[in-house]
Amino acid sequence: MGENGHNEKRRLNDPPRTFKLKIQRREKEGAPARWETFELPYRRNLNVISALMDVRKNPVTADGTQTTPPVWDMSCLEQVCGICTMVVDGRVRQSCSALIDDLLLASGSDTITLEPMSKFPNIRDLKVDRSKMFDHLKQVHAWIELDGSYNLGPGPQMSNEVAQDRYALSRCMTCGCCLEACPQYGDDKYIGPQAIAQARLFNIHPAGKMDIDERLAGLTGDDGIGNCGNAQNCVQVCPMNIPLTRAIYETNRDITVNTLFGWLKK
């Protein structure tokens, strides 16, 4: 904390002349992984993306070997599209907001390690295929059923409190950090926190509530919410601070209520 009572950024006081990027390489899915290390000149305010861009311009390893430019995904570079997610120094996060100064300070090392996420097919180098996450959104019917997109006036009135709760859930950018960190996620055993939280987003909407049964049905199959092991890793890695464990808890409660009282509806 600084004197004004707010966080002040720690900065490298004595920055190195150079630093190293150690990158896991893979030619295509199924090919063996290997490591390559690149040495780059240090500059202030670099992030992992700009370091990767430097490598791409001149793909020569630290020991002088010419290689291919590493492949990775990037788009918004403002941590709002989610595409550039990878494992940086052992922690899953967006590489655009991973600042070189912070990483070197945290590790005390001169080397930053980059790996692709391990829970998704590895297309090449740091690029992965997360299309499964979008399939999960289909499974939980993560949308409002509209009567039609024509002009029917405003939506239901709601308190700002509900709107803010929904906003917190709605910031999910489908980046996959929660799934990478979840010990239960993998091999299609568990749908994972992101889809549960997105179901919750619509279940607490006054109109969305009307389709709660369909959404809960998507969460009570073999890969359903019951597979959550309550490790709570998801909330710790979520870059958008989405209350994932709360969404899981509340959805479980909805399912219990539905199971207990579902017969009343019939």
Partner 1 sequence: MSSKGLKIAIVGGGLAGLAAAMKIAEAGHNVDLISVVPVKRSHSVCAQGGINGAVNTKGEGDSPAKHLDDTVYGGDFLANQPPVKRMTDMAPEIIYLFDRMGVPFSRTKEGLLDFRRFGGTLHHRTAFAGASTGQQLLYALDEQVRKYETLGTVTKYEGWEMLSLVLDDHQVCRGLIAMDLQSLELKAFKADAVIMATGGPGLIFGKSTNSMTCTGSAVSACYQHGARYANGEFIQVHPTSIPGEDKLRLMSESARGEGGRVWVPKNDGDKRDPKEIPEAERWYFLEEKYPAYGNLVPRDIATREIFQVCIDGHGVNSENQVYLDLTHIPAETLTRKLGAILEIYEMFVGDDPRHVPMRIFPGVHYSMGGLWVDFDQRTNIPGLLAAGECDYSIHGANRLGANSLVSCVYGGFVAAPAAIEYAANVERGETETNGIFDVELARQGELNQAVINSEGGENQYKLHEELGRVMTDNVTVVRYNDKLKATDDKLLELRERLKRISINDSNLWATQAIPHARQLGNMIELARVITLGALNRNESRGAHYKPEFPDRNDEEWLKTTIAEYADEAPVLSYKPVDVSLVEPRKRDYSKGKAKGN
Q: Which amino acid is at 250?
A: E
Tally Cβ neighbours within 10 Å of residue 150: 6
Residue choice 171, 235, 252, 258 for contact with partner 1 (CB under 8 A): 171
Q: Does 61 bind partner 1 (CB under 8 A)?
A: no
**Closest CB 266 distance from partner 1, rounded Å:** 26
- Single out the segment in contact with partner 1 by CB under 8 A; choices: 14-22, 50-58, 182-190, 251-259: 50-58
**Closest CB 63 distance from partner 1, rounded Å:** 17
Q: Which of residues 224-263 bind partner 1 (CB under 8 A)?
A: none
Q: What DSSP letter does each residue of 135-203 carry, written as one string?
A: HHHHHTT-S---S-SS---------HHHHHHHHHHHT-----HHHHH-TT-STTS---HHHHHHHHHHH
**Closest CB 70 distance from partner 1, rounded Å:** 9
Q: What DSSP letter does each residue of 122-135 carry, written as one string?
A: EEETTEE--HHHHH
Which run of H or E residues covers position 236?
helix 233-237
**Closest CB 238 distance from partner 1, rounded Å:** 13
Residue choice 118, 131, 220, 236 for contact with partner 1 (CB under 8 A): 131
Q: Does 34 bind partner 1 (CB under 8 A)?
A: no
Q: Does 65 bind partner 1 (CB under 8 A)?
A: no
Closest CA to 12 of 95, 93, 109: 109
Q: Which of residues 141-170 bind partner 1 (CB under 8 A)?
A: 141-146, 148-149, 151-155, 157-160, 163-164, 166-167, 170
Which run of H or E residues covers position 233?
helix 233-237
Closest CA to 62 of 100, 103, 111: 111
Q: Does 13 bind partner 1 (CB under 8 A)?
A: no
Nearer to partner 1 among residue 116 and residue 193 (C-beta): 116
Q: Which of residues 67-86 bind partner 1 (CB under 8 A)?
A: 68-69, 71, 73-83
**Closest CB 237 distance from partner 1, rounded Å:** 15
Cβ-proximal residues to 225 (8 Å cutoff; 6+ apart), any chain = 191, 196, 219, 248, 251, 252, 255
**Closest CB 215 distance from partner 1, rounded Å:** 12
Q: Does 173 bind partner 1 (CB under 8 A)?
A: yes
Q: Does 189 bind partner 1 (CB under 8 A)?
A: no
Cβ distance 189 to 223 under 8 Å?
yes
Q: What angle do CA 11, 15, 17 make, to 5 degrees?
A: 155
Q: Does 217 bind partner 1 (CB under 8 A)?
A: no
